[in-house]
Amino acid sequence: MAAVPLSYYLVLSGILFFCGVLGFLIKRNIITIFMSIELMLNGVNLSFVAFAAQWHSLNGQVFVFFVMVVAAAEAAVGLAIIIAVYRTRETLNVDQVNLLKL
């Protein structure tokens, strides 16, 4: 049976992770920065599933579920924080959110 080397999956996961890092660095909109974090989590999930398939163990896939739960909780709290920031500052640009207190 034809197969794909494990390293290809890992390289794809690394590319996704570094795209997320790059978005985190260069984006100025706080929502897009948040989406970059989700992209990084997805890249890590792919490497979990690839290793699970290589070692014939379902533990990696169970870890993916835990990562998803953390991502969902983080998205809920993070978006609530974004809404609270927007109410007080009326901006989504992270360069203008540079004081801890108004």
Partner 1 sequence: MFHLILFLFFGAICVAGAVNLLMQSHPINSALSLVVVMGSLAVEYLLLGAEFVAAVQVIVYAGAIMVMFLITIMLLNAGKEERSHGSRVAMLLGVPGVVIGGALIAWTILARSTTDSVSIGALQGDPRGIAKLLFHAFLLPFEVTSVLILIAIMGAVVLVSRPEAVVRSADSSPVRQPEPMIKDRELVAAGKDH
**Residue 46 contacts residue 9 (beta carbons within 8 Å):** yes
- Shortest reach from residue 2's CB to partner 1, in Å: 5
Structure tokens at 27: 């984006």
What DSSP designation does 56 have?
T
Binders of partner 1 among residues 78 to 97 (CB under 8 A) are: 79-84, 86-87, 92-93, 95
By the rule CB under 8 A, 31 interacts with partner 1: yes
By the rule CB under 8 A, 37 interacts with partner 1: no
Largest CA distance in the chain: 63
- Contacting residue, 44, 54, 88, 102, with partner 1 by CB under 8 A: 54
